[in-house]
Structure 1
Amino acid sequence: MLNVKDVEKVYDSGDRALKGLSMEVSGNEIVSIIGPSGAGKSTLIRCINRLTEPTSGEIWLDDTEMTGLSSKELRKTRRDMGMIHQEFNLVERLTVMENVLSGRLGYMSTWDAFRRNFDSEDIATAREVLRRVGLEGVENNRADELSGGQRQRVGIARAVIQRPKILLVDEPTSALDPETSVEVMDLLTEIAREDDIPVLINIHEVDLATEYADRVVGLSDGELVFEGAADELDERAKDVIYRGGETREERDAAKAAANRSASAGE
């Protein structure tokens, strides 16, 4: 389970990208993070795996607290977090197979990783994962020969071969056409169910977020202002997320005040 507790990110400029954000992701649920540009969606994903260092707060993956790990410990723990990037983050001159196998580098010695000395089991697993994501037969193609949808599938395969405890996905459909976007979301859903791992997705397309997610988290100006089932994301909630309005904390405070008033009147 992923547990984010009161995470803040303040940049050197003084900008607060995240403001005491807390949330959980568990089981094999798919959680979509939505919000306007600059809301802190990508910052949250990057803080979770410490590509960006949070200023304060705690990030737990099962029994491991991420923010206190040394560089060596972090390298080991990142094996449990499969990261799928918006810009694919592939090595263009390498083959599809080589890019996928790079997901196993965290399990190898420094010398074997440097030599890219993958064992036969890893190679067999990579072939099976490529079959799962629909890339069987293109193992030896260079990454720069692929379409955008194919590149994203390579990125997914690279994350899956890590055998992660969670998939962190940053804008997986932003560079794709609508049809390919649906195919990628179908694939992520399939992996979550079959591999029994949760998926946390930062996504701009609200329709895709609600169609595929079990739960939706809405950010606005670095704050969590909505959290609920996909079918609870009504127009009022969208207005709070995208056009400002009452935050979740304000709503909770108002509800508590109303309850106190009701109790006093009894």
Structure 2
Amino acid sequence: MLSVTDLRKTYSGGEEALRGVSLDVGGNETVAVIGPSGAGKSTFISCINRLTEPTDGQVELDGVDILRLSGKDLRNARRDMGMIFQEFNLVERLTVMENVLSGRLGYVSTWNAFRRKFSGDDVERAYEVLDRVGLAGHENDRADELSGGQRQRVGIARAVVQRPKILLVDEPTSSLDPETSRAVMDLLTTIAAEDEIPVLINIHEVNLAIEYADRIVGLRDGEKVFEGPPEELDEAAQSQIYRGAPPDEEGDPVVGRPDETDGTEEVVRDGEIKRG
């Protein structure tokens, strides 16, 4: 169970990216976080595993407060959080298999990690996961030879071989075509259901959130303004998330892809990467 309580992030310039966001994620559920560009979605995900250091709050995974850990304890805790990135975050010159096995680096010695030497069980597991994500036969392909959809599948496989307690997913469909986006979402929700791994996912396509998520969370200006099942994400709720007002005040709400730039801009501010 992931339990986030009153999570806050204030940059040194005074901008509040997160303003006391709380959320529980567990079981085999898929929770989608939506909101306009700059709402704090990517900051929320990156604060959970401390790629970005939060200012205050609690992040507990199975009762362990991630924000109070450091050094080896933090590295060990991160093994339990599989991260899937918007830009895939693969090593382009390495093979598919080498990229997937990098998900096991936290479990091997520094010397074996340097030599990229893994156990037979790890290699067998990697082959199984590659078959599961539809990449059987591609294990020796270089990452830079793959399509965008295939690269995202490699990123998913890498996270799954970690045997994590939760998958944290940052805008996995932003650079993919609609058909490939649905294939990726099918894969993520299937993994959640079959492996009993909850999935917390930032996504800017509202239609995909409605179609695939068990629960939807709406952020606006760093605050949680909506939480509920997809059927409760009506016009009024969408307008509140994306415009800050009900539809009778601002017109029809935005649906589908409310902001084509969402999640793609990165700005270095006060020595940190700030994303929407």
TM over 0.5: yes
* CA deviation vs aligned residue, 1:222-262 (integer Å, no higher than 9, x gap): 0000000111000000011000138xxxxxxxxxxxxxxxx
Counterpart CA distance in 1 for 2:3 and 2:119 is 34
The answer as to 2:43 corresponding to 1:50 is no
What is the match of residue 193 of structure 1? 193
Partner secondary structure for residue 89 of structure 1:
coil
Report deviation, 1:164: 0.4
Instruction: Write the deviation string for residues 139-184 of structure 1: whole angstroms up to 9, x where unpaired.
Output: 0000000000000000000000000000000000001000000000
Work out whether 1:12 is the aligned partner of 2:12: yes
Q: Which residue of 1 aligns with 2:99?
A: 99
3-state secondary structure, aligned to 1:135: coil
Structure number with larger C-alpha Rg = 1
Structure 2 equivalent of residue 231 of structure 1: 231
1:260 maps to which residue? none
Q: How many angstroms apart in 2 are the aligned matches of 1:109 and 1:245?
A: 54
Equivalence for 1:261: none
Secondary structure at 1:86 match in 2: coil
- Unmatched segments (≥5 aa) in structure 1: 247-266
In structure 2, the residue matched to 1:259 is none
Question: TM-score, structure 2 length as denominator?
Answer: 0.88
The one-character-per-residue Cα deviations of 1:63-111 (angstroms, maximum 9, x if unpaired) are 2100010121111011100000000000000000000000000111111
Q: Which residue of 1 aligns with 2:179?
A: 179
1:1-266 pair list within 5 angstroms: 1-245=1-245
RMSD: 0.8
Matched residue SS, 1:32: strand
Moved over 2 A (4+): none
Cα distance in 1, alignment partners of residues 7 and 183 from structure 2:
33
CA distance in 1, matches of 2:124, 2:131: 11
- Measure how far apart 1:117 and its partner are: 1.1
* Residues paired across the two proteins, number: 246
The superposition leaves residues 28-48 of structure 1 with CA deviations (integer Å, 9 ceiling, x where unpaired) of 000000000000000000000
Deviations 1:116-142 (A, max 9, x none): 111111111100000000000010000
**How far apart are the structure 2 equivalents of 1:14 and 1:191?**
39
Q: How far apart, CA to CA, are the structure 1 residues paired with 2:50 and 2:23?
A: 17
Equivalent residue letter for 2:18: L
